[in-house]
Amino acid sequence: MISVQSAPFDLGDIANRFAAAQSGAGALVTFSGVVRGDAGLIGLEIEHYPAMTLPAIEDMVGAARARFGLLDAWVIHRYGRLAVGEVIMMVAASAPHRKDAFAGAEFLMDYLKSRAPLWKKEHRTDGTAWVDAKDSDEESLCRWD
């Protein structure tokens, strides 16, 4: 299941639905990204490229499944305005063994961070600013080359 949506979602509900949908998995890993309450931050605004986002994420999920033998992988990503503490996105990955489930989830996160067409803008008490891509995210992606 891949969803790019403005509506909030319940991470526990998704985790349970993901678990229930698996067969043969011994390991389930989830990652959830949350709007971190840094000093002065009011919230995030997330923009995306609707015609490209879903196909790009589908490609990443396909690559992760093939590379790590994942049994399944789900991605949910929100766009629009999010308040501090809200869940931005979630990845779930299942595999027979834990190593592949962890690696698959990390691989997906690295690709989503730097290759999915989404952009974050911070709304702060002192103004707004687009979030700069981090060198560390690009380096994190390189380790899968």
Backbone phi, psi, residue 5, to 5°: -145, 155
- Residue 15 lies near a copy of itself (rule: CB under 8 A): yes
Is the separation of the CB atoms in 70 and 64 below 8 Å? yes
Of positions 21, 54, 63, 87, contacts a copy of itself by CB under 8 A: 87
CB of 143 to other proteins, least distance (A): 16
Window contacting a copy of itself (CB under 8 A); options: 27-35, 53-61, 73-81, 118-126: 27-35
Of positions 1, 19, 52, 142, contacts other proteins by CB under 8 A: 52
Tokens of 139: 């380096």
CB of 66 to other proteins, least distance (A): 19
Window contacting other proteins (CB under 8 A); options: 11-19, 34-42, 43-51, 62-70: 43-51
54-63 in b/e form (b: 16+ CB < 10 A) is bebbeebbeb
Give me the 32-71 binding string for a copy of itself, x by CB under 8 A, dash otherwise. xxxxxx----------------------------------
How far CA 36 is from CA of 43, 87, 97, 134, in Å, comes to: 9, 10, 31, 16
State the binding partner of 9 from other proteins, a copy of itself, none, CB within 5 to 8 A by kind: none
State the binding partner of 93 from other proteins, a copy of itself, none, CB within 5 to 8 A by kind: none
Tokens of 22: 């698996």
Is the separation of the CB atoms in 104 and 28 below 8 Å? no
Per DSSP, the three-state class of 8 is coil
